[in-house]
Every structure is written in structure tokens, then in C-alpha cells.
């Protein structure tokens, strides 16, 4: 059998999610965003929520998330996505509403919006991509940047005296009565992706069941900001990021 003979529907083992379009992605090769986008598109499609989902895009690398997944989107001001999502869900209680935010957006400029949306128990999903750096603006320090980690605005490494400590915001959100699920995942390997997708789907189910706010943190890589190859970045992430930000469920009720 030659290669062309193998290409037929019954042999298909993997395909691009139906809701992902063909727009070329602006993400760097090796970036976690592409895989996370794919999971979001798959979960929406598999749950049959395409026609009732509204996504809220952040400011940061995922600012153009709306270019890749074919659903209705709103692009928020920096950090304000949970405020938008609050109104969208309250005004349309039967819709599926999620935000997609990076660490600067969610844990620095948008800390108040994040905490209060979670504390009100808004029936939304917050997807939190934590790569410990501001990717879009060129690799500056994020609230989640690890101690001693070098960035454009802490070129000698994050120093607690000068820059304070890395913010474990998901741990904080897990303390709030309004959250029903707070989980930390990665997408660095096939088993991790499978597990992450399961938790993402649970978050979406919680939202539709009006159980409160679900937060899915993805501990992620930034190959450009970290100045590493994708493989090095994954290894560095598992060794360093996951030590500070341990994987698993911080809350699941």
C-alpha cells in the first residue's frame, strides 16, 4: 500500500477541530496557546455549544484568539474580560461564556475583575494561560514570573526585594466561595493534553449547570520570552514552573 492509498476517511485518526479555521496562527512555534485553542474548540464542538458560546479574548498574546475559533467573540480591554463575561452571562443565563486570559491580564491589571467575578460565583469559565511572562509586549516580568527568572524588566532575575514574589493566583481563587473548580494543567505531552481536556470539559459543564466559576490554569511555555527551544521550554517548565505551580485540582466540588 502506498501513501496515497492510505488517505481515506476510515483511516483517519486525527483531524483539526471543526471549529478551528484556516487562519495562520500568529503564535510562535512551540507555544502552548495553539494546543489550548484546539482543546477549547474541541470541547465546544463536542458539547454541541457552538451556537450558544461567547468567548471573551484578552489583551496579550491571545488578543487575536477570535481569529482562530469560529464562534462569537468579544475583545476586552486589558484585564477586564471577567467583567465582560459577567454581564454577558447575566444577560444571557443560558449561553456558554468563557474568558481566555494570560498571566498579566488576569493576575496583574485584571486582578480585581478576576477575584470579584470568582467571588460572585459567576457561571463562567476562566481559562488562564500562565507562562510567567508578558509575551506580546516582548518578554517583560509578569506577576507569575519565578524568582531569579530573567525577563526584559528584571534582566538580572526576579528579585523579591525589588519585584516581590510570584503570585499564586489560582490558590487564591480556590479560597473563594464562588469558585467550584480550580485546576492546574499543562499541555506539554499527550497524556497531559488528554487530562487537560477532561478538566476543561468539566469546567464547561459546571458553567452550563450554573455551579459557579470554574478556573482552568494552564501552566505554559513561552519559547520566545524564555529564549529556549520548544523542547527545552517544556523541560524547564516541568522542572521549575510546576514546582512553584503544582499541577492538579486545587478545588473541585
Partner 1 sequence: MVEEVKLMKGNEAIAHAAIRYGADGYFGYPITPQSEIMETLMEEAPWETTGMVVLQAESEVAAINMVYGGAACGKRVMTSSSSPGISLKQEGISYMAGAELPALIVNVMRGGPGLGTIQPSQADYFQTVKGGGHGDYRLITLAPASVQEMADHVALGFDLAFKYNNPAMILADGVIGQMMEKVILPDFRPRKTEAEIRAEQPWATLGKPKGRKPNIITSLELDSHIMERNNLRFQEKYRKIEANEVLYEELLCADADYLIVAFGSAARICQKTVELARAEGIKVGLFRPITLWPFPSVALKKYAEKIKGILTVELNAGQMVEDIKLSVECKVPVHFFGRLGGIVPTPDEALKALKAML
For the chain, the first-to-last Cα distance in angstroms comes to: 51
- Residue among 42 and 113 whose Cβ is closer to partner 1: 113
- Does the protein bind partner 1 through residue 52 (CB under 8 A)? yes
* Residue 63 found at the interface with partner 1 (CB under 8 A): yes
Which residue in the set 75, 205, 235, 252 belongs to the binding site for partner 1 (CB under 8 A)? 75
Under DSSP, the state recorded for 132 is: S
Interaction between residue 85 and partner 1 (CB under 8 A): yes
Sign of the torsion formed by the C-alpha atoms of 103, 106, 109 and 111: negative
Specify the stretch interacting with partner 1 by CB under 8 A; choose among 1-9, 52-60, 100-108, 234-242: 52-60
* 73 belongs to the binding site for partner 1 (CB under 8 A): yes
Of 48-56, 155-163, 167-175, 182-190, the segment contacting partner 1 by CB under 8 A is 48-56
Of the pair 50, 171, the CB lying nearest partner 1 is at: 50
Report the residue from 16, 90, 210, 227 that binds partner 1 according to the rule CB under 8 A.
Answer: 90
Per CB under 8 A, 43 contacts partner 1: no
CA distances from 214 to 36, 144, 202 (A): 16, 20, 9
Q: How far apart are CA 45 and CA 146, in angstroms?
A: 36
Q: Where are the alpha helices (DSSP H) in 26-123?
A: 33-46, 81-91, 103-104, 111-120
- Going along the chain, which residue ranges are E strands? 53-57, 72-75, 96-102, 125-130, 133-134, 140-141, 179-185, 213-219, 248-252
Query: If binding is defined by CB under 8 A, does position 70 make contact with partner 1?
Result: yes
Name which position in 28, 50, 211, 249 contacts partner 1 (CB under 8 A). 50
The smaller minimum CB distance to partner 1, of residues 33 and 80, is found at 80
Residue 123 interacts with partner 1 (CB under 8 A)?
A: no
Among 56, 136, 141, 241, binds partner 1 (CB under 8 A): 56
CA distance 142 to 10: 47
- Distance of alpha carbon 137 from alpha carbon 194, whole angstroms: 31
- Can you tell me the distance from the alpha carbon of 183 to that of 199, in angstroms, rounded to the nearest whole number? 7
- The answer to whether residues 228 and 216 touch, using CB atoms and an 8 Å cutoff, is no
Q: Which stretch binds partner 1 (CB under 8 A): 84-92, 138-146, 204-212, 243-251?
A: 84-92
Binding site for partner 1 (CB under 8 A): 50-54, 56-57, 63, 66, 70-77, 80, 83-88, 90-92, 95, 112-113, 115-116
Amino acid at each position: 500500500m502506498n501513501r496515497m492509498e492510505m488517505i481515506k476517511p476510515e483511516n483517519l485518526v486525527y483531524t483539526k477541530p471543526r471549529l478551528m479555521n484556516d487562519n495562520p496562527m500568529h503564535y510562535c512555534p512551540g507555544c502552548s496557546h495553539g494546543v489550548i485553542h484546539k482543546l477549547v474548540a474541541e470541547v465546544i464542538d463536542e458539547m454541541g455549544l457552538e451556537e450558544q458560546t461567547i468567548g471573551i479574548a484578552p489583551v496579550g498574546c491571545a488578543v487575536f484568539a477570535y481569529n482562530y475559533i469560529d464562534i462569537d467573540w468579544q475583545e476586552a480591554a486589558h484585564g477586564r474580560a471577567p467583567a465582560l463575561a459577567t454581564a454577558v452571562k447575566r444577560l444571557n443565563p443560558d449561553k456558554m461564556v468563557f474568558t481566555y486570559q494570560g498571566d498579566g491580564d488576569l493576575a496583574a491589571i485584571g486582578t480585581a475583575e478576576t477575584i470579584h467575578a470568582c467571588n460572585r460565583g459567576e457561571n463562567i469559565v476562566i481559562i488562564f494561560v500562565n507562562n510567567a511572562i508578558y509575551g506580546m509586549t516582548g518578554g517583560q516580568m509578569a506577576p507569575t514570573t519565578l524568582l531569579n527568572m530573567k525577563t526584559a524588566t528584571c534582566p538580572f532575575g526576579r528579585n523579591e526585594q525589588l519585584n516581590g514574589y510570584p503570585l499564586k493566583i489560582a490558590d487564591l481563587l480556590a479560597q473563594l466561595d464562588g469558585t467550584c473548580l480550580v485546576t492546574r494543567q499543562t499541555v506539554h505531552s499527550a497524556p497531559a493534553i488528554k487530562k487537560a481536556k477532561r478538566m476543561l470539559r468539566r469546567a464547561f459543564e459546571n458553567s452550563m449547570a450554573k455551579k459557579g466559576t470554574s478556573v482552568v490554569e494552564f501552566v505554559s511555555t513561552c519559547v520566545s520570552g524564555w529564549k529556549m527551544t520548544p523542547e527545552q521550554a517544556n523541560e524547564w517548565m516541568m522542572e521549575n514552573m510546576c514546582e512553584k505551580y503544582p499541577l492538579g485540582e486545587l478545588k473541585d466540588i
